[in-house]
Amino acid sequence: MNAVRVHQFTAAIGPRDAVSHHTFEVDTLLRDLGYESEIFAQHVHPDLRDRVRDYRLHADLEADVVLYQASTGSPVADYVLTRTEPLIVNYHNLTPAEMFDPWEPHIGAELDFGRRQLGRLARKASHGLADSRFNATELEAAGLDDVVVAPVLFDPPRLRRSGTIDVGEPPTLLFVGRLSPNKCQEDLIAATAALRRWMPEARLELVGATSSHRYETALRDYAQRVCPGGVAFAGSVSDVQLADAYAHADVFVCLSEHEGFCVPVIEAMATGTPVVAFAAAVLPETIGTAGVLLDNKSPTNVAVALQRVLTDRELRAQLVENGRRRAATFSPERNRSVMREALRRVVEDCV
């Protein structure tokens, strides 16, 4: 009997991209389950062309199941919608278009396009996968009834913090994520400026590439005006540099207004870095009770919370312990086990 053929599709595949890493991990799990698996995309980084095929070469091929990794608007989704094979949608969330419209209207248009495609995909698909209950709710609202929650597949940094909970000099705040309007780095800068009224040496490190050069330029200008010398824009960094950033951070602070899972929060907790976050979108679900969740992200309110985490040793110790315990529930081994079972279930239901 021939093995079941599962063809994965996604908009783009690149190195050190979360959805790309997840797609490759799913490919490995599908093969481990005994299925034949191939990956197709529109945009493929040159270094990965031996592992991924151009989706436009797929037309004459046949599959038993099509699995689409949905994270943005793409012609790939339109192609998937023409296929007659059973469809599974793995949803990674779409940022609301209005968050990008003032900065990069073309990205806003792409996201709006993706939102419309999601509705068509949800109505066509027989099964869905979502990496959080927050995302599953969106997929269900789009019209898909059968959605399994299975965490995104990622590997946290290898380096762990030393046993000390002492605050470094200077006290360092960290956020990891693309410079993107939905992640609200301007609020992080404002909170750092407020904190420096009481802790003048405190500094903020922003790690991540940019999603909008106009937004990045505005952020740099704003940082220079309200927090001169207090904000470092690290840009995209290597895995070693990322692990080092987590290890030397005193607090991980996230004031995003829209996240679908937020892997960096788990990475921070796994490396023993206390977390302070705005309780929006998926963040309460991802963090649970392991961090300080704020329902008000005014600069003063955030600064007060940060100062307490930086100065209260008992609270820091509790946050470190709770964070590591929470991160362990998203360990790579557990995540792969959950996703493996979810894939087995939905693929078998399709065939």
pLDDT one-digit tens code per residue, 40-82? 999 999 999 999 999 999 999 999 999 999 999 999 999 999 9
Closest CA to 41 of 129, 22, 28: 22
176/124 same-domain check: no
Confidence tier at 1 by pLDDT (50, 70, 90)? low
341 and 316, same structural domain? no
Residue 122 reports pLDDT greater than 90 = yes
Residue 230 located in a structural domain: yes
* Same domain membership, residue 75 and residue 120: yes
287 and 265 belong to one structural domain: yes
Residue 186 has pLDDT above 90, yes or no: yes
pTM for this model (two decimals): 0.94
- Identify whether the C-beta of residue 122 lies closer than 8 Å to the C-beta of residue 89: yes
Whole-number pLDDT of residue 157? 74
Burial of 164 (0-12, 13-18, 19+ CB in 10 A): exposed
Q: For the segment 160-175, what is each residue's pLDDT rounded down to a tens digit? A: 665 677 788 999 999 9
Inside any domain, residue 164: no
Q: Are residues 83 and 180 in the same domain?
A: no
160 belongs to a structural domain: no
The contacts found for 295-304 with CB under 8 angstroms, 24 or more apart, are 297/184, 297/187, 297/191, 297/255, 299/187, 299/190, 299/191, 299/193, 299/194, 300/194, 302/187, 302/191, 302/194, 302/195, 302/253, 302/255, 302/276, 302/278, 303/191, 303/192, 303/194, 303/195, 303/197, 303/198
Q: Are 84 and 215 in the same domain?
A: no
The verdict on 87 and 134 lying in the same domain is yes
Looking at the fold, whether 294 and 147 belong to one and the same domain comes out as: no
- Which pLDDT score is estimated for 153? 94
Closest CA to 326 of 252, 238, 259: 252
Which pLDDT score, from 0 to 100, does residue 15 have? 86
Domain count along the chain: 2
Same domain? 280 vs 343: no
Per-residue model confidence (pLDDT) at position 2: 76
Q: What is the CATH number of the domain that holds 238?
A: 3.40.50.2000
Q: Residue 7 above 90 pLDDT?
A: yes
Query: What average pLDDT does the chain have?
Result: 95
Assigned domain for 143 exists: yes
Same-domain status, 310 and 246: yes
Listed residue (259, 234, 301, 232) closest to 99, CA to CA: 259
Domain that holds residue 31: 5-151+332-350
If you average pLDDT over residues 241-263, what whole number do you get?
A: 94
In tens, the pLDDT along 262-279 reads 999 999 999 999 999 999
The residue-averaged pLDDT of 128-136 equals 96
* pLDDT > 90? residue 240: no
144 lies in the same domain as 188:
no
Decide if 166 is inside a domain. Answer: no
**Residue range 147-155: average pLDDT?**
92
Within-domain flag for 310: yes
